[in-house]
Amino acid sequence: MPMPTTYRLVCQFALCCAGLLLACSLAAAQNLQILTEDWPPISFGNDQQVDGMAVEVVRALQKRISKAAGADAIIQVVPWARGYKTLLEEPNTLLFTVGRSDEREKLMTLLGPIAVSSTALWTRKGHAARLRALGAGMQKLKVGAYRASIFADTARRHGFSDIEQAPTPQIVANMLFAKRFDLWVEGSFVVPSVLNDIGRQRDEVEKVSTLESLELFLAFSQQTSAATIKAWEEALRSLKKDGSFAKIYQKWLPNESVPMALLRIDAP
């Protein structure tokens, strides 16, 4: 028996609504979320005002990609531990900057490098010589580190087991001056900005030793579309090729060598 006209129209309307909801859901699922941390001068601020070397690079890249790849995505500043957890658990997530390590290469796609720093041990002024004199005995000392950061991992890899972690580099630096520990592990080119944030001068700390070089990347979560990652890769390639990347890098880090290589490392 033919379906009544009114009933048929209701069914068609319901199907259209369902289709629209599905399309919206798929679009939402494909939207790229961009996260960063408060780690000056690489990235800093809050949701209202975000700045820094890597932030400027990411915004320059967004101008070279489509909306579908994240051109309009808002950069959100979140605590590092939360951002890293989101990167590992949620698809379509970009987190920057992420230090390269063997473990991380298996968990995400890395694109860069965006910057190259060094991981070093720092102490209060006047204590470096005494600590160096300990030799291997220095590994028995407590080290302060940024929670869930690659710096804590690096310290462990170099034989330090007693590591006290705090939510931000600024808190860790304050703990160093409060004599909670004598060693602070951190990336070299952020130390001056962190000290400035807590009202301290650069000459109030001394470098004890450099542990290793550290390449910093854009990191894309698993299940981020290949097309999205490819768009960012091509944008970064052109940004480095035409000199725009070097200009941004030298503006923020005038005494550092510009990393011009381009690497894309995909998780297995």
CATH number of 32-115+215-265: 3.40.190.10
Q: Which of 4-18, 126-140, 207-221, 226-240 shows the lowest per-residue confidence on average (mean pLDDT)?
A: 4-18
**105: number of CA atoms within 13 Å, CB side?**
8
The answer on pLDDT for 80 being more than 70 is: yes
Give 45-48's long-range contacts (Cβ < 8 A, gap of 24+): 45/77, 46/77, 47/74, 47/76, 47/77
Q: How confident is the model at residue 101 (pLDDT cuts 50, 70, 90)?
A: very high
Contact 208, 132 (CB under 8 A): yes
What is the C-alpha separation between 239 and 49, in angstroms, rounded?
23
Tell me which of 140 and 13 has the higher pLDDT.
140
Phi, psi of 210 (to 5 degrees): -95, 130
DSSP type of residue 204: G
- Architecture field, domain 117-214: 3-Layer(aba) Sandwich (3.40)
* Per-domain boundaries in the chain: 32-115+215-265, 117-214
Task: Tell me, yes or no, if the two domains 32-115+215-265 and 117-214 fold the same way.
Answer: yes
**Whole-angstrom distance, CA of residue 260 vs CA of residue 244:** 11
Token code pair at residue 42: 């690489």
The pTM (predicted TM-score) of the whole model is 0.82
**Res 77 pLDDT > 80:** yes
Contact of 253 with 56, CB cutoff 8 Å: no
Handedness of CA 179, 181, 183, 185 (dihedral sign): negative
- Residue of 7 and 86 predicted with greater confidence: 86
Q: Is 182 helix (H, G, I), strand (E, B) or coil?
A: coil
240 pLDDT band (50/70/90 cuts)? very high
**DSSP string of 120-153, one letter each residue:** EEEEETT-HHHHHTTGGGGGGS-EEEETT-HHHH
Tokens of 121: 């041990």
pLDDT value at 62 more than 50: yes
Question: Which among 225, 182, 201, 236 has a CA at the least distance from the CA of 54?
Answer: 236
What pLDDT does 30 receive? 66
pLDDT at 60: 99
82 C-beta neighbours (distance < 10 Å), count: 13
Q: What is the pLDDT of residues 23-50, one digit of tens each?
A: 333 333 469 999 999 999 999 996 679 9
Mean pLDDT value across residues 99-121: 96
Give the pLDDT score at 132: 98
pLDDT band at 148 (very low <50, low <70, confident <90, very high): confident
Mean pLDDT of the chain: 90
Neighbours of 212 (CB within 10 A): 10
Is the dihedral angle over the CA atoms 162, 115, 222, 32 positive or is it negative?
A: positive
Q: Give, for 63, the enclosing helix (H) or strand (E).
A: none
